[in-house]
Copies of this chain bind each other. A is one copy, B any other.
């Protein structure tokens, strides 16, 4: 049913349905863009009211076109589109870009209209981009179906956007900057072709070195993750998600008609799929530019070459915040630097050649560093000076670093007098930032991507260890109950091999003594009464009981205290529980996200979970490495791994995370499950679920 998306990118002929000779119309702009950037295919304006537009013969209907049409760009009132699409089907058009709005974004009526068009397109085997979009641009072939003013330079960034306006704004930003694109694609309402389809297509596009995406919502999250995980092994995806805050989500949903899913799930999914998420349009462009222009840094060491200390200090702060370090320059290197620089120059890194530094001094210092230092990244910084020509300095950067294989990012602090130098650097594939503080994030993203690619791609086989028949029986016995407490959740944990706390409900002291012997000291006592909510406030807890004499006195004193503090409470005996004194409490849970599926969580448990939000998330299934990462990235995990001197049973924790993920895959009607706290015992001693709850759909 699906045909190839290449008709959007490499059509032999394009019809503009709704073309106009009136320069006050957007459709005029489309025809003009199509005609003026060297597109070599045939162009057919369609409009019953004109015989010719811009020198092209114009046809009343697409059926009148005396040739095959691969791609139709439609810009007509929404209510006319269904008929026009049927004409396209009859003509054998392969792909349509529907620019017009008036669909899902307007609410119910528009949604119904969109649905009709979608069904018709599917029946006729026509792929659709849009509606409510601004078209696309293939810079290499000169194909431009948008009405955006200006054509980006040719380069390696494919820009994919769910907002047409963002496309326009981005083009306006880069037009004079020498930043180049391979494709620009506005997706609009994504009636048919989605951001995920585009990732899949662009992965194999030889013009595209990096994909930059602006996204407001992703509907098929599981497919997105599969595709993105594959694509990011080939080339980087840099992504900006709008609508992360409550206000932002409201803004997004009101203008696209899409429901936003959980923002945590988005961020988790992006991270797991190797997608580099940025938080601003500026970063999206800067990071994409760096991936396009430069190779990945070989290590986290950088050398700064500057004519001014202040910007170098700001740059150093920014490097530090993103895991980069200033490379140490040996005494020998420093001595060599001294031979070619101002005697007052600072030869430690940052190499500060002082305000008067000439292009020769920059060139010399770069040469020395390339020859003598292993730092993977070179960062020349120029503050415009009265007597220094920025273009000559830029030429030195280009000349000296061309053969170096190092990652080079330049900073030119200013605007007025550095424009020409910046353009020259961009044309020679050295990215330039105006403010030193921007470099850290760019390098951090590049290094993170390098490390991601060096990891082996995970297997993620699911290894169900559960007796499915028993598990089904368990769910049957729940009798459609939706909210399950500790006692009801426990049998499922047992089935998945998760240990629960050993405990017994006793009625009197002698029963309690027997239970304690059975469980083994030390034990804890807890009062049981439906009338007592907060046991510790009522004096109804005794911990750390080590022997029977202690038990007897603790039992008596606890009952006396409770009777004193809660004289009216009906007491129903005590709970005797095995004490795990030496453990750490963590939380492990799963919540099913509408977009991305089973989202697992791990973090600090007990009373601190809410206060500290020390939680990591992943979407199931996970391989072992991912589970280990998930544990390690929290403070709770660091404590388990010996932060405070004791090693806890991290492997047992990993097994519980694996089991909960498996449970979520085995039984899709589990909406949420949470073990809190899970007591983690010292290394080799396992874990114990002290409390748990579950929600079924």
Q: Which residues of A contact B (CB under 8 A)?
A: 24, 26, 29, 101-102, 105-106, 147-150, 161-166, 168-169, 171-173, 175-177, 214, 216, 240, 242-248, 250-252, 254-256, 279-282, 304, 307-317, 319-321, 325-326, 344, 346, 348, 350, 352, 354-355, 383-387, 413-418, 434-438, 534, 536, 542-544, 546-547, 549-550, 552-554, 557, 561, 581-582, 607-608, 610-612, 614, 635, 638-639, 643-645
Contact of A309 among B102, B163, B417, B635 (CB under 8 A): B163
Q: Is the CB of A168 within 8 A of B385?
A: yes
Taken together as a complex, chains A and B put the C-alpha atoms of A414 and B281 apart, in Å, by: 11
Contact of A638 among B547, B557, B611 (CB under 8 A): B611
Taken together as a complex, chains A and B put the C-alpha atoms of A166 and B436 apart, in Å, by: 11
Q: Is the CB of A281 within 8 A of B326?
A: no
Could you list 12 examples of A-B contacts with CB < 8 Å? A29-B387, A105-B344, A165-B355, A168-B414, A171-B416, A172-B415, A172-B416, A248-B314, A251-B313, A254-B352, A255-B309, A255-B312
Q: Is the CB of B413 within 8 A of A165?
A: yes
Separation in Å of the A611 CB from the closest CB of chain B? 5
Separation in Å of the A90 CB from the closest CB of chain B? 30
Q: Is the CB of B553 within 8 A of A245?
A: no
Q: Is the CB of A106 within 8 A of B344?
A: yes
Q: Which residues of B contact A255 (CB under 8 A)?
A: 309, 312-313, 346, 350, 352
Separation in Å of the A161 CB from the closest CB of chain B? 7
Q: Is the CB of A165 within 8 A of B307?
A: yes
Given contacts A309-B163, A437-B282, contact A384 B168 (CB under 8 A): yes
Q: Is the CB of A317 within 8 A of B416?
A: no
Given contacts A242-B314, A245-B321, contact A26 B387 (CB under 8 A): yes
Taken together as a complex, chains A and B put the C-alpha atoms of A316 and B252 apart, in Å, by: 9
For A283, the closest partner residue in chain B by CB is B437
Q: Which residues of B contact A417 (CB under 8 A)?
A: 149-150, 172
Separation in Å of the A93 CB from the closest CB of chain B? 25
Q: Is the CB of A308 within 8 A of B414?
A: no
Q: Is the CB of B173 within 8 A of A316?
A: no
Taken together as a complex, chains A and B put the C-alpha atoms of A550 and B147 apart, in Å, by: 85
Given contacts A168-B384, A280-B437, 19 further A-B contacts (CB under 8 A): A101-B344, A148-B386, A164-B308, A165-B307, A166-B308, A166-B310, A169-B384, A177-B415, A242-B314, A242-B317, A243-B316, A245-B316, A246-B320, A250-B316, A255-B350, A280-B435, A282-B434, A543-B544, A553-B553
Most buried by B among A173, A248, A279, A542: A248
Separation in Å of the A610 CB from the closest CB of chain B? 8
Q: Is the CB of A346 within 8 A of B254?
A: yes
Taken together as a complex, chains A and B put the C-alpha atoms of A24 and B240 apart, in Å, by: 47
Q: Is the CB of B165 within 8 A of A434?
A: no
Taken together as a complex, chains A and B put the C-alpha atoms of A281 and B411 apart, in Å, by: 13
Taken together as a complex, chains A and B put the C-alpha atoms of A304 and B242 apart, in Å, by: 16
Separation in Å of the A561 CB from the closest CB of chain B? 8
Q: Is the CB of A101 within 8 A of B354?
A: yes
Q: Is the CB of B161 within 8 A of A310?
A: yes
Taken together as a complex, chains A and B put the C-alpha atoms of A395 and B552 apart, in Å, by: 85
| 7 A-B pairs with the lowest CB-CB distances in the bound complex, closest first | A163-B310, A165-B308, A172-B414, A255-B309, A245-B320, A169-B413, A248-B317
Given contacts A26-B386, A280-B435, contact A550 B547 (CB under 8 A): no
Taken together as a complex, chains A and B put the C-alpha atoms of A600 and B281 apart, in Å, by: 40
Taken together as a complex, chains A and B put the C-alpha atoms of A561 and B582 apart, in Å, by: 15
Separation in Å of the A598 CB from the closest CB of chain B? 27
For A548, the closest partner residue in chain B by CB is B553
Q: Is the CB of B313 within 8 A of A252?
A: yes
For A280, the closest partner residue in chain B by CB is B437
Taken together as a complex, chains A and B put the C-alpha atoms of A24 and B546 apart, in Å, by: 88
Q: Is the CB of B248 within 8 A of A316?
A: yes
Q: Is the CB of B173 within 8 A of A415?
A: yes
For A161, the closest partner residue in chain B by CB is B310
Taken together as a complex, chains A and B put the C-alpha atoms of A238 and B436 apart, in Å, by: 19
Contact of A175 among B165, B314, B416, B438 (CB under 8 A): B416
Given contacts A216-B310, A414-B173, A553-B546, contact A326 B250 (CB under 8 A): yes
Separation in Å of the A177 CB from the closest CB of chain B? 8
For A418, the closest partner residue in chain B by CB is B172
For A639, the closest partner residue in chain B by CB is B611
Taken together as a complex, chains A and B put the C-alpha atoms of A648 and B420 apart, in Å, by: 64
Taken together as a complex, chains A and B put the C-alpha atoms of A560 and B434 apart, in Å, by: 71
Q: Which residues of B contact A311 (CB under 8 A)?
A: 163, 165-166, 169, 281
Taken together as a complex, chains A and B put the C-alpha atoms of A644 and B150 apart, in Å, by: 58
Separation in Å of the A299 CB from the closest CB of chain B? 15
Contact of A314 among B177, B281, B308, B543 (CB under 8 A): B281
